[in-house]
Structure 1
C-alpha cells in the first residue's frame, strides 16, 4: 500500500475544516506537512482530490468525496483494530452524519450526548441538510449515515425504521377547527395551506391531499418548518406536520394547536440509512445502536400523544 494512514488522516482533517492551516493546527503539525500529504494522495490517484482556494482554503472534488468516504472507513477500521480488546470506551474515530434539517434539533444533540458518555473518543460531524442533498451525499459517500424521513433516499441506501408517525394538522389556537377532536382533509383543503418549500416535503403533503381527493384552495410556501409554524400561529393558514418541538408555541410566542386527521393516511417513517454495499465500521455500529435506543426510549415520551409506533424493521 503506497498511501499511509498519516496521509489519509491529514487529508481527512483538511476536508473536515476546509482549510489546510486549520487542519495543521488541529493536528499539531506544520502546514506544509498537510499540503504534502494532499499532494502525495493526488499523485497516487493521478487526479485532483481537492480544489485549492485562496488563503489555503480547500474543498473536495466529486472524486475527493469518494476518496474521503473510503478513507474515513479505513481510518475507523484501523483505530478499531488498535483497540480491539478494549470496551466501547476505547473506540475512537470520526463519522459524518447527515440529518434532515427539521429532525436534527429534536434528536441529534441528545443522541450525541449519549454517545459521548459511552464512547468519548468518537467524533461525529453533523450536516443538517434538505432531502435533495441528503440522499445525494449518502449515495456519493460524503456522509456515512443519515437520519431522515423515508423520502428522497437513493436506491443504493438501506434503511432501518426508527419510528412511524401519522400526520397531524397545525391550526391557529383560535381557529374554529381547533375546537374539534379531529379534522378532515376536506376541511383543511378549504383553508390557506402553508407548505415548507423543501424538496420532497411539499410534494409529499400535496400527495396526501390527492389521496383524499382534495385540492387545497391556496398554497403558501415558507423556507423552514419554524416559519411555517409561526405563520400558522399568526392565523395565516393551516399546515400538516409529522413532528413538533416540545411545546406548542411559535418563535414569537403565539400558541398553535395540533389535531389528528380523521382520514386514513399512510404513516411516515423516520429511518437511519447507510449505503447498502458499505459495511458499517465499529464506531458507526455504536452510533446506530444509540440512535435506535434513543428512538425507543426518548422519542415516545416526546410524542406520547401522537399515533405511531417505534421499531427496528428493514426497508
Structure 2
C-alpha cells in the first residue's frame, strides 16, 4: 500500500511544482509587460512634442530611436498623428520619417514568429504608405506559410499602393475571403483599377461581384451608374436588388416606368429596395405606386412604403388619409405607426 501512496504523493508534489512554476512565470511576464508599457509611455511623453512639431511644421530635428521601446513609442505616436492631423503635408512628413527610421525595424517585425507582430507591421506599413516595401510584400504574399489574415491585409495594401498586379492577385483568392474583405480591398483602389474591376464584372465570383455593386453605392461612384442601370434588367434578382440599393445610396432618380417593374417583382427584397430609392429621391409622382405597396404581404415592404410616404412633402397628410380610409387593416396599422414616428420628429 505504501508504494502506490508514495507514487500518488510524488505526482501531487510534481504537479504542484509545475503549477507553481507556471504561476511564477506568469507573474514575471506580467511584471515585464508592465515595465515595458511604462517604458513606452515614458518615451511617448518625451517624443510627443517633438514629433508633433515635426509633422505639423517640418522644422524639428527628430532624434533616431535606439531601442525597441523607442521604436514602438514613435510608431504609435505617428500613427495617431496621421489619423488626427490628416492632410497631404502631414502624411508626406510621416512617410518620410518612417522610411528613414522604421524600415529596418518593420522589416524584422514582418518575419517575427508571432502573427500579431507581423500583422501590426503590415498595418503600419499601410498607414505610413511605405511603398518601398512593395517587393518584400510581394514575396511575402507568395510564401506558402502566409496566413489568410495576412493575405487579406496584403491585398488591401496592394490596392492602396496601386500595385500593377492587384487585379491578378484577386483572381487567386479562395472561399475564405468574405464580401466584407472584398469591400475593404475595393475601397482602397484608385478609379482606374476599380473601373477595370467593373469592366470585367462577369469574370469574377459572386462575392466580388456583389462587393463591386455595393462599393459603387457606398463610395458614390457616379461614373458607374450606367452599369447599375444595365443590372436592373438582369434576370438574376440579387443583381437587381443590389443595384437598386446602390442607386438609392446615391439618390439617383428613376422614373415611374423604370420602377414599375421592380414594384411588381415577386422578390420582396426588390420591392423593398425600389421603395428605399423612392424614399431617397422623394418624387411626388411615385406616391400612388407607393400607396399600393402599403398593402404588401411583407411587413418590411409595408414599413419601407410608409417611410417613403412620410418623406414626401405632404407625407403626414398621406399617411393620415391611409390610416382613416384604407380597406386594408395592415396598411392602416402601418400608417398609424409611422404617423406616430413622424409626429415625434416633426
Highest relative contact order (Cα 8 Å, sep 6+), 1 or 2? 1
**TM-score, normalising length: structure 1:** 0.24
| More strand, by proportion | 1
**TM-score, normalising length: structure 2:** 0.23
| More helix, by proportion | 2
